[in-house]
Amino acid sequence: MGLSIERGQGWHRATLNAGDNQNKLTPEIVEGLWAALLACEADCAARAFLIEGSGGYFSNGMDLVAAAEGGGAGDGTGGPGGRRFMDLLQRLTTSSVVVISIVDGKASGGGVGLAAASDFVFATPRSQFSLPEILWGLLPCVVAPFLIRRVGVQVCQRLTLSSLPIDAVAAHAAGLVDSTDERALAQLLQRLRMVAPEAIGKAKRYLNGLWIINEPMRNYALQELDSLLAAPEVRQRLTDFAQHQRYPWEAQGGAGGKA
């Protein structure tokens, strides 16, 4: 499945270990994260749920090959799959445990969404964050509500329009990353063991209610994503990539290179 689970004193850790697939958010990975989160919530001793990547990737976001083949229907991007991923992100923001993303390497697209929906984000110096969707004619529809909630409209717009990656220092300055100090995670986990367990969920639900990602917003995001994935020009770009590993700017005769 590309996901391994570890339990420690007061925490559960889910590690994405499909490095050969750049830890892309396939439906199996999304369901695995759901199951791991529910198991953590059911553990009365757990205070924190950690999400981590491996192989130099936190997560490279949605599976473009699946998107090209499935057209957005239940493939982890649009349709039921997109709704399932958005439900997961929203559950992270209201979960009864503290959600911590540990980013060591590249986080793009939906990977940025996982980080944005987390309560704490720790990153290493080699980490990068990007929203490359616009290169394909897509938008970070599901990610944007959570990213705006965390860093504001302007930062989200800059990442969306430029598609350029930012490093851990810039992400820290923008508020997407909470710390790049490797000691801070251990300090937080130790502190969380002192917290009244029922207070975590209450605090998160209360604070989440001050910035509501409501049903109209969710529907707008998912409808826009499905509309984009159904566009012939977008589907052609995704198909070219799935079949020939050809990036859109290469097909257009533009400058080569990978994002």
Would you state the structure tokens that stand for residue 6, as one six-digit string? Answer: 């570890």
The whole-angstrom separation of Cα 233 and Cα 64 is: 14
Model pLDDT, residue 132: 95
pLDDT in tens, the chain (259 residues): 689 999 999 999 999 998 788 999 999 999 999 999 999 999 999 999 999 999 999 999 987 666 656 544 434 445 667 889 999 999 999 999 999 999 999 999 999 999 999 999 999 999 999 999 999 999 999 999 999 999 999 999 999 999 999 999 999 999 999 999 989 999 999 999 999 989 999 999 999 888 878 889 989 999 999 899 889 999 888 888 888 888 888 865 554 455 5
Domains and CATH numbers, the chain: 3-181 (3.90.226.10)
Bridge partners for 158 per DSSP:
none
The Cβ of residue 206 has, within 10 Å, a number of other Cβ atoms equal to 10
CB atoms within 10 A of CB 178: 20
Q: Which two structure tokens, joined as six digits, stand for 121?
A: 């984000």
Q: So what's the pLDDT on residue 67? A: 61
**Residue 72: what pLDDT?**
47
Supply the pLDDT for residue 69.
Answer: 60
Q: Are 130 and 165 in contact (CB under 8 A)?
A: yes
How many residues does the structure list for the chain?
259
